[in-house]
Amino acid sequence: MKRITDMGLVVCVVLLVCLLLSPAPASAECAWVLWIKERYSLLNVGKVRPEESEKWEIQTASKEKEQCEQIKQRVWESIAREYTDLTKYKGLDDVKKVPYEGIYRSFKSTQDGAGGAWSTTLLCLPDIVDPRK
């Protein structure tokens, strides 16, 4: 009888160790990340190609896509409000606002012929997607 009890104890210990060492089940949920892309382009006279730079930044993360989209709308509205009066910005020629997606600005050419563009794009993407790649 003692042998059966000892064997049962060994089995219980082995099962417990297996349970503790097994990986936790993966969750099907993913987070949603609000990315902001800033892109600059400057064209100077005498240069064939414009000088360009692009930068991606994470603004915030949310558990659900709907939350991310709501935050994206608020961020877009905040940025768009800055460009209601274009006379505040010297050299700013035009601003195009694509609701809740992006804001695109162009700069007038200066006396030396330089002009340019600056865009801000907002994207909600699953956390497994990195737009920089």
- 50-68: pLDDT as tens digits: 788 999 999 999 999 999 9
pTM for the model stands at 0.70
- 82-104: pLDDT as tens digits: 998 888 888 888 999 999 999 99
Q: Which two tokens stand for residue 76?
A: 């877009």
Amino acid at 82: E
pLDDT at position 57, please?
97
Distant-in-sequence, close-in-space partners of 65: CB < 8 Å, separation ≥ 6: 32, 124
Strand partners, 36: 57, 122
Distance CA 70, CA 124 (A): 10
